[in-house]
């Protein structure tokens, strides 16, 4: 029997899989902090995650996702090299750390060629271990810069939705504040990690 979002296994850790729907708020850091990243809060405005961009880390194509205490949860790197440069897709890889500090690959995201950046072009993510018999496990539907997109699993279930509340949109002529609704049982670190890559791809707060 195929798995559903209700019994989804964690990608990073079960500690970040809530039994109820969760609303996270992303607030990008000021652009004066070039490539600074963003913070993620809950509805009570408590910081739950922080993403450091390449301007903080000092390395282009590298991001770090941390918890509220500053502990590293996920290292995200864009693959480099001649083969990668000639490829239609650029690939990003997300790594966790074990207790000895060794890196473990947990997911890969294929970034389309810049000439393919159109609103209907899906960006796909594969996890380690794989969850389906397709060559991807999740895809992004919609257009991230519009703050109107969803992360969907291979069964077609929406696992997270990115958007801006109308009242916020009217008060702020900015895309620096938006909501992410994460469905029950879905790994929030994974979702924020994917959002961090989308932020970089489209030249926003994490990119130098």
Structural element, H or E, at residue 79: none
Question: Domain residue spans in the chain?
Answer: 19-49+62-201
Please confirm whether the linkage preceding 129 is cis (ω < 30° from 0).
yes
The tens digit of pLDDT for each residue in 10-58 reads 899 999 999 999 999 999 876 555 689 999 999 888 999 999 998 889 8
The tens digit of pLDDT for each residue in 93-142 reads 999 988 777 899 999 999 876 544 455 567 999 999 888 888 899 999 99
Contact 55, 65 (CB under 8 A): no
Q: What are the structure tokens assigned to 111, written together? A: 């970034």
Residue (of 81, 87, 79) closest to 108 by Cα position: 79
Looking at the DSSP bridge assignments, the partners of residue 178 are 26
């Amino acid at each position: 029997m195929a798995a559903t979002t209700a019994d989804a296994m964690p990608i990073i850790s079960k500690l970040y899989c809530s039994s109820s729907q969760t609303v996270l708020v992303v607030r990008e850091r000021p652009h004066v902090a070039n490539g600074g990243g963003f913070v993620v809060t809950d509805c009570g405005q408590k910081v739950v995650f922080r993403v450091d961009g390449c301007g903080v880390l000092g390395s282009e194509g590298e991001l770090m996702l941390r918890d509220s205490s500053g502990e590293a949860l996920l290292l995200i790197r864009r693959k480099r090299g001649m083969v990668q440069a000639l490829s239609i897709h650029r690939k990003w890889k997300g790594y966790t750390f074990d207790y000895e500090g060794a890196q473990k690959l947990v997911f890969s995201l294929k970034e389309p060629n810049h000439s393919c950046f159109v609103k209907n072009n899906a960006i796909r993510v594969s996890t380690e271990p794989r969850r389906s018999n397709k060559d991807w496990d999740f895809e992004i539907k919609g257009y991230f810069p519009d703050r109107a997109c969803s992360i969907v699993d291979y069964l077609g279930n929406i696992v997270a939705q990115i958007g801006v509340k109308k009242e916020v949109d009217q008060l702020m002529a900015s895309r620096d504040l938006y909501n992410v609704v994460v469905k029950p049982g879905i790994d929030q670190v994974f979702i924020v990690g994917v959002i961090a890559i989308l932020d970089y791809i489209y030249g926003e707060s994490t990119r130098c």
